[in-house]
A and B are shown apart, each in its own frame.
Chain A
């Protein structure tokens, strides 16, 4: 079957319609785009993607701030944001008229700032010194997510930038940053708070008496569970924060609305791996349920191949052919007079034909052209000579056969490397196709895998180019 035939057959087979390509430049250039949120599971390159998008937008003329959560140290250093001062810093080395500012989130500091901004001196001090507050702000479940959204709201309110690119925390679930503010908000607003505040507020109101019996039973249970002193810390904290609760809730709601606003675009970031794409699919569904605007999927670390026409199976078979040539040559070297060279050669010439003949001779007139055959003959002649030399005296001279052999070993290695690449590629393709089948409406931008990590603006610029290249890295049809 010729490659062309294979292609024809592939196209008549039922196959996935290709995912729409995500065109990022128009999104970044559009002045109506004010917030880009990069979300996805851990280890898929969210931070790098956020930084690369920020740089690209800045170099295309926008005034951008990138809010990163936990950047790799060297990336943070190269952007000059490795000091934790919780405010955006201008990044040097950006080309063009735009500006890039970047910051790394310090969640405790962000929380402290909220307290300081909303409570007077004494009350703020008592909150900041409360052991319960200290644990809460130092980063237990949800705080980081909450503070990331809080910071986003603050940056947006300052209105100094025309585009904010946000990275999201590496949560156990990519959805946490949507849920955490609500959860904290509903806690701070909820019945529990009133129960906790009850002892402080019991004061002569006869109508409340019955209710308070129930409530003190509750606080009794809580006290039993938490221990009296912790409960007291919580109560003091809650009492001190009482005046701020409304503010918390209002801001959490405002941030949530901001995420739904037309100027916001969500990018789901994933790698072509099962878990990452499963998480991405959940996220796509969740965003739709929350009426949050999804721009598309960024698929990082995708592998391609310039030689995708050569399948893994054929590459491996060809590598074996090369091994075989030398295995037989070795036999010949050891027992040059016993093994019939011509027989061995005939076998060799025949075996690759199984693969060679699958290419249509008509489309490749030179396949059987003298080059290959001549080389083979020449090699065999050399080998005979070298065998003679070996049986005679160990001349040690470099013969053409040795050179051929080294090149053949290398070529076999190249072919095995290619087979490995093709296996990877078809696995990535299957994973991606599964996502595309579930969500054909989601536009995808594929970014080629880089051998190393990104540490500097040049690297980020390169990623930016790849992000905006509008070109799939993986072949479309699942024929491989």
Chain B
């Protein structure tokens, strides 16, 4: 079991598109919030995925409580808007209120947050790091954990490492300092980058590539979380039998189960082919999943699996996944 001291305070969740990284990030935030902890779930891509998951209205650029966890824990959420974050930042460090507005009119803010290399990313990671370090007047951390729903695997290293790039680009000046400070947090053991994947070839390949990139950039890789794992309905023996069983015996068995006649053209008999067909598809997928599990096993990282929720994901499902993560000792 992982003790709380071992759990990094900034947990970054990435994954290939379609693997459910937002869901996993949200479940992780819930899981970490148990036992009276307070977590902040941060969204950086402006997709309002968190609001949709928690079935609330679109999140503004402010920290807002969106859920409670068992034992009095709380989950806050923040959708970071790069433009507002920049104005915030200008205000905080330069008291540039009026000039900020003028810059905005000029298109400089738009430039800084959309076109200028890396600035947008510095602002996003900077805001998250600020939340990690923020303390209340008693000197306690305001948030026990910050979970970031980060950009997809293909861009995660560049996103997190961008501070390095900006620091190189802006060799002096306040952005340089800011970038350096953020980078210190991101590369420390305070941070862990988790990758969400499915048991499919492309996401697994991308996960392996992503981990190699993160390691090369000296960013701390946390865990691999396999999402939407389907239950094992038939095992090796069952699948072997699928190949050898006679159609008529399956038809008789279906009939015995109360599904109609086993004779040719009977209800049960007509089910045999499609059911065996589905079993063959399952067998193919089963083999592929085993291969991919083996590939993930070679990554030498803690591996977790979350089940596919048959009825689709809702709020209750999210809590279920959070429970699962806690059971597996990830939080």
Which residues does A use to contact B, with CB under 8 Å? Answer: 41-44, 70, 72-74, 131-132, 135-136, 138-142, 170, 172-173, 183-184, 186-187, 190-192, 195, 217-218, 221-230, 233, 271, 273-276, 278, 305-307, 310, 314, 317-319, 321-322, 325, 351-353, 355-356, 359, 364, 366-367, 369, 371-372, 375-376, 379, 403-404, 406-418, 420-421, 423-424, 427, 430, 451-453
Contact = CB atoms under 8 A, between A and B. Distances in A.
Interface in B221-273: 230-231, 233-234, 238, 241-242, 245, 249-250, 252-263, 265-268, 270-271, 273
Contacts of B121: 140-141
A37 B69 CA distance: 45
Contact of B260 (A191, A317, A359): A359
Contacts of B112: 225
Contacts of A410: 234, 238, 241-242, 245, 250, 253
A170 B154 contact: yes
Given A135-B117, A173-B46, A226 B18 contact: no
Given A191-B107, A410-B250, A318 B258 contact: yes
B245 A453 contact: no
In this complex, the member of B45, B165, B242, B278 whose beta carbon has the largest number of chain A beta carbons within 10 angstroms is: B278
12 contacts: A41-B17, A44-B18, A72-B202, A140-B118, A183-B114, A227-B176, A319-B257, A356-B259, A366-B265, A371-B263, A414-B234, A427-B312
Interface of B: 16-19, 22, 45-47, 49, 52, 90, 94, 96, 99, 102-103, 106-108, 110-112, 114-118, 120-121, 151-152, 154, 158, 162, 165, 168-176, 200-203, 205, 230-231, 233-234, 238, 241-242, 245, 249-250, 252-263, 265-268, 270-271, 273-279, 281-282, 284-285, 288, 310-313
A195 B169 contact: no
A375 B169 contact: no
Contacts of B117: 132, 135-136, 138, 140
Nearest to A351: B258
Contacts of A406: 241
A413 B238 contact: yes
Q: With a 10 A CB-CB cut-off, give which of A141, A172, A414 has the most chain B CB atoms.
A: A414
Most A CB contacts (10 A, CB to CB) among B174, B241, B268, B285 go to B268
Contacts of A172: 45-47, 151
Nearest to B264: A366
A322 to B, nearest CB: 5
B102 A310 contact: no
Contact of B173 (A230, A369, A416): A230
B118 to A, nearest CB: 6
Is the contact region of chain B dominated by helix, strand, or loop, or is it mixed?
helix
A453 B201 contact: yes
Contact of A187 (B52, B99, B115, B260): B115
Contact of A184 (B115, B254, B255): B115
A187 to B, nearest CB: 5
Contacts of A274: 312-313
B96 A452 contact: no
A417 B282 contact: yes
B40 to A, nearest CB: 20
Contacts of B107: 186-187, 190-192
Nearest to B173: A227
Nearest to A310: B271
B260 A367 contact: yes
Nearest to A366: B261
A369 B49 CA distance: 55
A196 to B, nearest CB: 9
B90 to A, nearest CB: 7
Q: Which 7 A-B pairs have the closest CB atoms?
A: A227-B173, A42-B17, A352-B258, A43-B18, A306-B274, A43-B17, A135-B117
Contacts of A415: 254, 257, 275
Contact of A271 (B18, B238, B311): B18
Contact of B115 (A44, A141, A414, A424): A141
Contacts of A73: 205
Nearest to B18: A43
Contacts of A74: 201
Contacts of B46: 172-173
A70 B252 contact: no
A51 B90 CA distance: 46
Contacts of B258: 317-318, 321, 351-353, 355-356
Given A187-B115, A453-B200, A276 B277 contact: no
B284 A307 contact: no
A432 to B, nearest CB: 13
B278 A305 contact: yes
A230 B166 CA distance: 9
A477 to B, nearest CB: 19
B154 A414 contact: no
Contacts of B288: 451-452
A407 B250 contact: yes
